[in-house]
Structure 1
Amino acid sequence: MNKVLFTNAYFYRFDTKQWEDQRPYPPYGTMYAAALLRQEGYEVELFDTNLASSPKELEPYLAHAPNFLVIYDDGFNYLSKMCLTVMREAALEMIRMARNQVDYILVCSSDSTDHSALYLDAGADFVIKGEGELTLSELCGLLKNGETKAAKDILGVAYYNNGKLVSNTKRPVLKNLDELPDPAWDLVDTSGYEEIWRNGRGFFSLNIATTRGCPFKCNWCAKPIYGNRYNSRSPRRVAQEMAMLMQNKGAEYFWVCDDIFGLKPGWVQAFQKEIDRLGIQPRYKIQSRADLLLEADNIDALAKSGLDEVWIGAESGSQAILDAMDKGTQVEQIYEATRLLKARGVRVGFFLQFGYLGETKEDIKKTIKMVRELVPDDIGISVSYPLPGTKFFDMVASQLEGKQNWTDSDDLAMMYRGTFSPAYYRRLHRYVHKVFRLQQGWEAFTRLLQRPLQASAKSLRSAAATVYYLPAMWLDRIRLQRLQRLQGTKE
Structure 2
Amino acid sequence: MQLASSGAPAVLLAHSYYLRHDPKQVQKMRPYPPLATLITASVLRQHGIDVTLFDAMLASGVEEFYRTLDAVRPAVVTIVEDNFNFLTKMCTVRMRTAALDMVRAAGRAGARVAVNGSDATDHPQLYLDAGADAVIVGEVEPTVLDLVRAWRAHRNAPLDVIPGLVLPAAPRDPRRDDRHPGFRRTAARPALEDLDTLPFPAWDLVDRQGYRSEWLRAHGRWSWNLVASRGCPYRCNWCAKPLFGSRYTQRSPGHVAEELRRLRETVGPDHVWFADDIFGLTPQWIQTFAREVAARGARTPFTMQSRVNLMKPAVVEALASAGAEEVWLGVESGSQKILDAMDKGTDLAQIRRATRCLKAHGIRSCWFIQLGYLGEEWDDILLTRDLIRAEQPDEIGVSVSYPLPGTSFYQTVRTQLREKINWEHSDDLAMMFAGTYDTDFYRLVRDLLHQEVRQPAAGAETAGASLDRRWEELTRLESRARRGNGRPLPVC
TM-score, normalised with respect to structure 1: 0.91
Query: Aligned pair in 2 of structure 1 residues 121, 103: CA closer, same or farther (>3 Å)?
Result: same
| Aligned position for 1:101 | 109
Separation (CA, whole Å) in 2 of partners of 1:416 and 1:134: 38
Residue 384 of structure 2 corresponds to residue 367 of structure 1: yes
Task: Check if 1:21 corresponds to 2:28.
Answer: yes
Task: Identify the residue that residue 361 of structure 2 maps to in structure 1.
Answer: 344
User: Which of 311, 336, 342 matches 2:328?
Assistant: 311
Number of residue pairs matched?
467
Structure 2: any 5+ residue segments left out of the alignment?
1-7, 172-181, 486-492
Provide the residue aligned with 1:454 in structure 2: none
Q: What secondary structure sits across from 2:72 in the alignment?
A: coil
Equivalent pair of 1:155/1:170 in contact (CA under 8 Å): yes
Partner Cα distance (1:464, 1:94) in 2: 52
Give me the whole-angstrom Cα distance separating, in 1, the residues matched to 2:383 and 2:348: 10
- For residue 267 of structure 2, what is the aligned residue in structure 1? 249
**Which moves more between the two structures, 129-138 or 308-317?**
129-138
Q: Secondary structure at the match of 1:26?
A: coil
User: Does 2:39 match 1:32?
Assistant: yes
1:271 and 2:279 aligned: no
1:299 counterpart letter in structure 2: V
1:50 aligned residue = 57
Out of 195, 199, 206, the residue aligned to residue 181 of structure 1 is 199
The aligned residue for residue 484 of structure 1 is: 479
Equivalences for 1:13-412 in 2 at 5 Å?
Answer: 13-62=20-69, 63-146=71-154, 148=156, 150-162=158-170, 164-294=182-312, 297-412=314-429
Select between 12-21 and 244-253 the one with higher mean Cα deviation.
244-253
1:2 deviates by: 3.8
2:411 is equivalent to residue 416 of structure 1: no
Structure 2: distance between partners of 1:56 and 1:466: 52
SS in 1 for 2:51: strand
Q: Counterpart in 1 of 2:490?
A: none
Instruction: Tell me the alpha carbon deviations over residues 389-437 of structure 1, each in whole angstroms, 9 at most, x when there is no partner.
Output: 0000000011113111111000001000112222221211112112232
Alignment CA distance shift 1:401-1:488 (3 Å): closer
Opposite residue 388 of structure 1, the aligned amino acid is P
* Cα displacement string for residues 190-249 of structure 1 (whole angstroms, at most 9, x for unaligned residues): 111111111111111001000000000000000111211111111122112112222221
Q: Note the C-alpha offset of 1:160.
A: 0.8
1:265 to partner: Cα distance: 4.6
- Where 1:266 maps in the other structure, the secondary structure is helix
- Determine the structure 1 residue equivalent to 2:5: none
Counterpart Cα distance in 1 of 2:236 and 2:11: 37
C-alpha distance in structure 1 between counterparts of 2:307 and 2:445, whole Å:
25
Tell me the CA shift for residue 260 of structure 1. Answer: 0.5
Q: Distance in 1 between matches of 2:469 and 2:421?
A: 33
2-side partners of 1:331 and 1:353: how far apart? 15
Q: CA deviation at 1:60?
A: 3.1
Change (3 A) 1:429 1:169: farther
Higher helix share: 1
| Matched residue type, 2:27 | E
Shift of 1:319: 1.1
Q: 1:75-106 CA deviation, whole Å, 9 max, x = no partner?
A: 10101111111011011111111213243111
Moved more, 18-27 or 101-110: 101-110
User: Over aligned residue pairs, what C-alpha RMSD do you find?
Assistant: 2.0
Contact 2:236–2:342 at 8 Å: present in 1 too? yes
The answer for unaligned runs of 5 or more in structure 1 is 445-462
SS of the residue 2:470 aligns to: helix
Q: Distance in 2 between matches of 1:432 and 1:169?
A: 47
User: Alignment partner of 1:432: what SS?
Assistant: helix
Aligned-partner Cα distance in 2 for 1:378–1:83: 24
Kept in 2: contact 1:204–1:250 (CA 8 A): no
Amino acid at match of 1:397: R
With over 3 angstroms needed to count, the CA separation of the structure-2 counterparts of 1:72 and 1:154, relative to structure 1, is: same
| CA distance 1:472–1:343, change in 2 (3 Å) | closer
Supply the AA of the counterpart residue of 1:106: A
Q: Distance in 1 between matches of 2:389 and 2:474?
A: 20
After superposition, the C-alpha distances for 1:267-291 in whole angstroms (9 at most, x for unaligned) are 1011111111111230001000011
Cα deviations across residues 137-195 of structure 1 (Å, max 9, x unaligned)?
A: 12222233338564124321111122531133532221210111111111111111111
| 2:450 matches 1:433 | yes
Q: TM-score, normalised by structure 2?
A: 0.91
Distance 1:279 1:393, change over 3 A: same
Equivalent position of 1:456 in the other structure:
none
Shift of residue 476, structure 1, vs aligned partner: 5.5
- Secondary structure of the residue that 2:369 maps to in structure 1? strand
